[in-house]
Chain A
Amino acid sequence: MFGIETLSGNAQAAALVGVVLVEAMVLYVGYGALTAALGPSVRKAIGGE
């Protein structure tokens, strides 16, 4: 996946950890933006306001 198979040994291992790290950062930023956009309305809905 993502061409990682073409690498070997330590490079492949580092690339896999790197992909997980990048995915985590992207998800953090992505969900952060989503929370900022939808957070107040969700809070209002849950809070019953």
Chain B
Amino acid sequence: MTAAKIRPALEGYLTERDGKPHLLGSRCTACGTYYFPRLDSFCRNPACDSTDFEEVPLSRSGRLWSYTNAAYQPPAPYIPVKDPYEPFAIAAVELEREGMIVLGQCAEGIAVEDLRVGTPMELIVEPLFSDDEGDAIIWKWKPQAAGADA
């Protein structure tokens, strides 16, 4: 049996620092505004006309701004992963340094009952779906383990 190959479900959304996954964003070198997904064309701050950006890994922890779930199977291009369908939770997490709220699925096994607005959350990587080519991975949010290093 060969090890399953791993690939990103979306190109250019994830990076790694010191063995830990981060969302890959960008930052305007003139005004400091962050972007996710990455932006490298024109800064959207109306007070800034910069076209220079640097790639930056975003904070991998933040506070839960709000949450919900997908109780029904979303339409394509969502790729079903279980038959019958099982709902998954969705989190909106507020990143303090970036001043930004980022959405994402919650980690496998996390249900809305496990979540509370304000809970510290951290970013992990898990398969979004799997196919003949292996696992297509994506970022997901999960409640931070007590005492975990952000």
- Asked if chains A and B come from one complex, the reply is no
